[in-house]
Structure formats: structure tokens, C-alpha cells
Amino acid sequence: MSEKVIITGGSGRLGRAVVQGFAAAGHEVISLDRELPKQAVPGVDYRSIDLMDAEATHTAFKEISPQAVVSLAAMAVPFMAPEEVLLKTNSTIAHNVTSAAVESGATRVVLASSPSIMGYGSPGGWVPEKLPLDENETPRPWHAYGLSKYVAEQIAAMFAAKMGPSSPVKFASFRPCFVIAEEEWDGAPTQQGHTVAERLQDPKLSAPALFNYVDARDVADFLLLLLERFDRVENGSVFFVGAKDAMATRPLSEIIPEIYPELASLATGLTGDRPAFSIDKARETIGWEPKRSWRTELKTKI
């Protein structure tokens, strides 16, 4: 069924794939971003807007009157701005968009979070309760980016609590792993500047993200399925969204102890191509399964 969907941050690395996926699925897509994309998807309504401006955001949403909203807009990388700027920007956008979505009559609102909220890479040390990580592990963000994404999750949960279980409006958030855009399989640099092949050849490049990744198109598929099957989702839920395997050519049970000795005992079960992040909740709740892997998509031989 075709619906009117606002996608914020539609010009970004992930946003481009989500916009394209929703348009291909037949939805009426309105992309709201500060910048317009270099290459537009036919049929998509692109609008430039500062989502930090609450009044402008509410006005735009009321005019559009969407049935669903997917919020991707944010500063996308830790430390890309002063900590106070990053925290304020991402938290404000998440709240403005969610509030505007509710007032405009949207019935489903999805906010993007990040696996980095879990706290891995902390200079103060980090040892989780178990590996792979799942949604039951308590987040321990150590930088403003991670905190801002945790705030986004809490905003979704806050509105779910505020409106109550009988509300027709449903909220969820999701944690997309290290996003690989389609052109990056062909050798374009990833978000951190090096290529996918380089990440695979040198485990230390993927180690800071605990070898997580996801194809941007698989995220689009997840979001489409989530909106379709929202009736199966507990209001305010959060999901990890990642590939079914790790960004590594050897089992993480071997690699993680070499780089993070303190995690050696927790990594013993990460054999074969098993990743350090569980996507079982998305599988079991809405029946989503990632279709793409570096093993099937990468054009460069390793």
C-alpha cells in the first residue's frame, strides 16, 4: 500500500538508499534535509529545511501531513563538531522531528540511533556483559555523538510513554551498523576514508566498530518492513540493524582476542562468520533478514 512518508536526512549516505528504496516500493516520498542531493530520485519531493528550527519543522510537517516518518537527519560522525554542538544538534533534531510528526498526524515514527551508544572504544575501558551484543545490553555512551543517539532512543520511548498503549501513534528506533553505500562496494571510500577492501585486509580498521557493518539497501528493506509490520512491535522498541556476518575474513573468536584481550573470554562463541551484534530481535519481531554481505557485494578480491 502506497503511503506518504517523510524521510529526514534523505541526502545522506544512508538517506539516499532509504529514499530510493521507499520510492521504488511505490511510496510518496518527501525528503527533508539541509542540503539537496547531487542526484535526485525521480518522483521524490526534495525540500531544504533546517530541522533545528522547531517552527519551520512543525510548519513543514503540517503542510505535508505524512502517514509515517523516518528520521535519519543528524551529524553523522563522532567528534565532527564540538561535543556541545553535536549533542545539542542531534538531540534537538530528534525532538523537533518527533514532535512535529505527532502533531502532523503521522501514525508511525522511526528514529535512527547508533550501535556506538553501547560504549565500545571508550578510553576508560569497556567490557560488556556478553557478546554478541543485543538490545538487552545497557548502553554506556562515552562521547556526545553516542549520547545524542541514546537521547533519540529515549525521545521515541518518551513519546510512547506520554501517549500511552492505546494511542494510534507508534514509535521505534533502530541502530544501523557501519553503513556501506552501494558505490563503496566498487571501491569508493567509506565514511572513515578507507575502502571496504582495506577494512577487510587490516582488521585494526574495522576493530573500532567491533567489525559491524550493514548495506544501506538492507536498512531500507528493514524500514519498509518495520512500517508494514508495526503492529507486531512493542511501542518504543529499539532494534540493531546489521549484516548477518562480521566485516572480517577470520572468525571474531580469533581476531577480537588479538586486538582486545579483555574481551577474549566473551568472544569465544563468535565462530565462523558470526558478528558481534545480534539482529535476532528484528528477525523474530518483523521477519527481517539482511540480503547482502561483503562476500556477495564486494567487487575487489581479498
Per-residue pLDDT tens listing for the chain (302 residues): 899 999 999 999 999 999 999 999 999 999 999 999 989 999 999 999 999 999 999 999 999 999 999 999 999 999 999 999 999 999 999 999 999 999 999 999 999 999 999 999 999 999 999 999 999 999 999 999 999 999 999 999 999 999 998 899 999 999 999 999 999 999 999 998 999 999 999 999 999 999 999 999 999 999 999 999 999 999 999 999 999 999 999 999 999 999 999 999 999 999 999 999 999 999 999 999 999 999 999 988 77
Buried b (16+ CB within 10 A) or exposed e, 234-270: ebbbbbbbbbbbbbbeeebbebbbeebeebeebbeeb
Residue-level pLDDT at 263: 98
H helices within 25-143, ranges in order?
54-64, 83-103
> Is residue 230 classed as helix, strand or coil in its secondary structure?
helix
pLDDT digits (tens, 9 = 90+) for 122-132: 999 999 999 99
Give me the residue label for grid cell 517552527: 55
For residue 67, give the amino acid letter. Q
Give the integer Cα–Cα distance in Å for 180 and 167. 36
DSSP assignment string, 179-227: EE-GGGGGT---TTSS-HHHHHH-HHHHGGGTT--EEHHHHHHHHHHHH
Residue-wise pLDDT tens digits, 189-224: 999 899 999 999 999 999 999 999 999 999 999 999
Residue bearing cell 553523522? 76
Pairing of strands 68-71, 4-8: parallel
Q: Which amino acid is at 183?
A: E
pTM: 0.97
**Cell 503542510 identifies what position?**
63
Which DSSP helix (H) or strand (E) runs through 14?
helix 13-24
Predicted confidence at residue 46, as pLDDT, reads 98
Q: Which of 10, 105, 107, 4 shows the shortest CA–CA distance to 51?
A: 10
Look at residues 229, 256, 249, 226 and name the one whose alpha carbon lies nearest to residue 21: 226
- 175 contacts 240 by C-beta, under 8 angstroms: yes
Structural domains of the chain ordered from first start:
4-181+213-243 (3.40.50.720)
pLDDT of residue 47: 98
* Separation between Cα atoms, residue 135 and residue 139, nearest integer Å: 9
Give the pLDDT of residue 165. Answer: 86
Grid coordinates belonging to 172:
521505534
> Hey, what's the cell of 231?
503492529
Structure letter (DSSP) for residue 34: S
Q: What pLDDT shows up at residue 166?
A: 86
Report the 3 state secondary structure along 100-116. HHHHCCCCEEEEECCHH
Give SS3 for 39: coil
Q: CA–CA separation, 23 vs 4, rounded Å?
A: 10
- What is the rounded distance in angstroms from the CA atom of residue 72 to the CA atom of residue 160? 19
Rounded to the nearest angstrom, the gap between the alpha carbon of residue 180 and the centroid of all alpha carbons in its chain is 11
Dihedral through CA 117, CA 121, CA 122, CA 127, nearest 10? 90
pLDDT value for 301: 79
Q: Which position has the grid cell 510537517?
A: 61
Beta-carbon contacts of 291 under 8 Å, excluding residues fewer than 6 positions away, are 215, 217, 218, 221
